[in-house]
A and B are shown apart, each in its own frame.
Chain A
Amino acid sequence: MVRVYDLAHCRAGDKGNTSNISVVAYSEAAWRVLREQLTPERVMAAYGHIAKGPVRRYDLPNLRALNFVIENALGGGVTRSLRQDMHGKSLSSLMLTIELPGHNEETQQASGSPPIVANRNAR
């Protein structure tokens, strides 16, 4: 198994009661794994205990990024939510906990990629 945390970085945004979470691959190899394995179904399973869904996925190959749109995720929306984190900014790091199947050469290469450091980009 390989964690999304080892393949990508994420940011969460809010609009009304909907959260969008971007998943940006660290490498080409990681991108291939994410595109194949990080399905809306897997994301729905990870968020099912806090969001009703549905979940939609948009692919942005130029950016090696996926954009997940999770509906009914923010307790009624920023302005009336009972949640402590009304904007759902912390929801991005829940995405990073998702484990994806497969431990093939590709994922090993991806998960073994070095941390990205300031002002140096792997791409």
Chain B
Amino acid sequence: MSSSESNAASIRIGVGAGTADDRIHPAVQLAQHGELDYLVFECLAERTVARENLTRSKDPDRGYTPRMLERVEAVLPACLENDVRIVTNMGAANPRGGARAIRRLARDMGAGDISCAVVTGDDVSDLVRTMPALELLETGAPLESILPRMASANAYLGADVVAKALATGARIVITGRVSDPSLFLAPAMHEFGWSYDDWPRLAAGLVAGHLLECSAQVNGGCFADPGKKEVQDLATLGYPFGDIAADGSVTIGKLDINGGRVDLATCTEQLLYEIHDPASYITPDCVVDITDVRLEQVAQDRVAVRGPKGRPRTPTYKVTVGYFDGYIGEGQVSFGGPNAVARAKLGAEVVQARLKERGFSYPELRVDLIGYSSVHGEHPSRPEPYEVRLRIAARTDDRRAAEAVGFETRALHMHGPAGAGGGSDPMIREVLAVQSVLLPRELVAPEISLQGEA
């Protein structure tokens, strides 16, 4: 097992997942064939922790990401055989409970006693309840305005605490909310002893993490456009890995057994993914500047990343606050043939009139014609399609009003324009929204606890 004293010139970090709903098999391939040192699973979207907080409130043993055990069960044999350490934020709202569940699973699999280092301290909900004047970054309103409906508040922790957790020697490090790229920087900090004034290296580790954190999006996912931008064997797309050296050099790659491509085109798209000002990509570890980054194809499916810069981290942690934000009701029904668009639009008018007549009102209601206007909006320059699917979605605090949207849309079958078919069951979604606040660093206290003998 690696230790902070080791002199490894370079480590290889693979991606096991880039979202809670990511595919599982590519992680197994990487654990088996990737010659990895670390396998990182990033599974927390913005509101995942909020959702899992609810799960935990119903069952104190749960609250980790739903597929966590399925993922660990799939990769554990190869990780043990090849001495690959796992780093993951799949602990979500209950990292300690997640570690207990993983250890139980390992025992059941006959893998023995697996040590887990648990990172906590990201849950700051009790703290922010005492700070109602904190400003919400998205709206400028005080936190107070959503406090009564708050479901969770979690700080994006940095790589420092994850590196310390790795220093315990534990086989698996499990966390709640940690900044996505920091999960990848942490093994490099741990192995190479990088410190918090080592800006180019910290920035390099974070850029590697940024490129890897969305799994297959850097090696050919979200890219193919037949006849224009080809991706070989898209069906066998795998997960990427990054080689990070002690001097901060980074190379992104993929396995030969998988389809996909790692080249300047795919890496450039992913480098800019979810970036706003390229000179100020704020993470809990440093502020990264990718303005001068150069990418170089150093071999087939190997791209070297050079030139990221870093500045000192900000004095605050970003905190995601999850809160209940009413319901979204939705219904869908299809129209085809001559004048389909006009019939669908008439249907939408009828549904709205009936909802109003029943006494329901909605602060926001949206009409989409799927196949015509649902993703890029309606535009006079586009020809009318042969068939469309009418979708009506509306926001409301009243569950009955939400249910009525889908009910009235489906009722177009018999009470609407000609030929309305295939109505969906009414859909009702309870909305867990998120906003953010900033908390001074000194108020947040990340902690590490160990389960099992490391």
Contact = CB atoms under 8 A, between A and B. Distances in A.
Interface of A: 5, 9-11, 13-18, 20, 22, 24, 49-50, 56, 58, 60, 62-63, 65, 67, 69, 75-80, 82-85, 89-91, 93-94, 115-121, 123
A18 B364 CA distance: 19
A62 to B, nearest CB: 5
B431 A80 contact: yes
A20 B274 contact: yes
Given A9-B269, A63-B272, A76-B364, 9 more contacts: A11-B270, A60-B278, A60-B291, A63-B293, A79-B47, A79-B433, A115-B228, A117-B230, A121-B265
Nearest to B214: A13
A100 to B, nearest CB: 16
B366 A82 contact: yes
B411 interface: no
Contacts of A63: 268, 271-272, 293-295
Nearest to B375: A90
Interface stretch (B25-33, B75-83, B347-355, B387-395): B387-395
A15 B230 contact: no
B378 to A, nearest CB: 7
A83 B269 CA distance: 24
21 contacts: A18-B276, A20-B276, A22-B268, A22-B269, A24-B265, A24-B268, A56-B276, A62-B292, A62-B293, A62-B294, A65-B268, A78-B46, A79-B432, A79-B433, A80-B395, A82-B395, A84-B391, A84-B393, A93-B376, A116-B229, A118-B230
The 10 closest A-B pairs by CB, nearest first: A13-B274, A22-B272, A50-B377, A11-B269, A118-B232, A82-B366, A90-B375, A80-B433, A13-B273, A79-B433
B222 A11 contact: yes
Chain A binding surface SS class? mixed
A115 B230 contact: yes
Interface in B17-54: 45-47
A77 B376 contact: no
A63 B374 CA distance: 32
A60 B83 CA distance: 40
B299 to A, nearest CB: 10
B138 interface: yes
Given A13-B274, A14-B274, A77-B138, A84 B431 contact: no
B121 to A, nearest CB: 24
B297 interface: yes
Contacts of B278: 58, 60, 67
A60 B73 CA distance: 42
B229 A49 contact: no
Contacts of A22: 268-269, 272-273
A69 B279 CA distance: 14
B439 interface: no
A92 to B, nearest CB: 9
Contact of B376 (A10, A62, A91): A91
B269 to A, nearest CB: 4
Given A60-B272, A67-B272, A89-B222, A16 B138 contact: yes
Interface string B345-367: 00000000000000000001110
Interface string B108-151: 00000000000000000000000000000010000000000000
Contacts of B295: 63
B315 interface: no
A88 B231 CA distance: 22
Interface in B205-247: 220, 222-223, 225, 227-232
Contacts of A16: 138, 436
A84 B393 CA distance: 9
B420 interface: no
A81 B29 CA distance: 36
B285 interface: no
B58 interface: no
A5 B279 CA distance: 27
B434 interface: yes
A51 B232 CA distance: 35
B228 to A, nearest CB: 5
A119 B233 CA distance: 12
Contacts of B379: 49
A49 B378 CA distance: 8
Interface string B302-338: 0000010000000000000000010010000000000
B70 interface: no
Contacts of A94: 376
Nearest to B301: A119
A53 B24 CA distance: 38
B410 interface: no
B263 interface: yes
A18 B138 CA distance: 10
B424 to A, nearest CB: 13
B198 interface: no
Contacts of A62: 291-294, 307
A50 B378 CA distance: 9
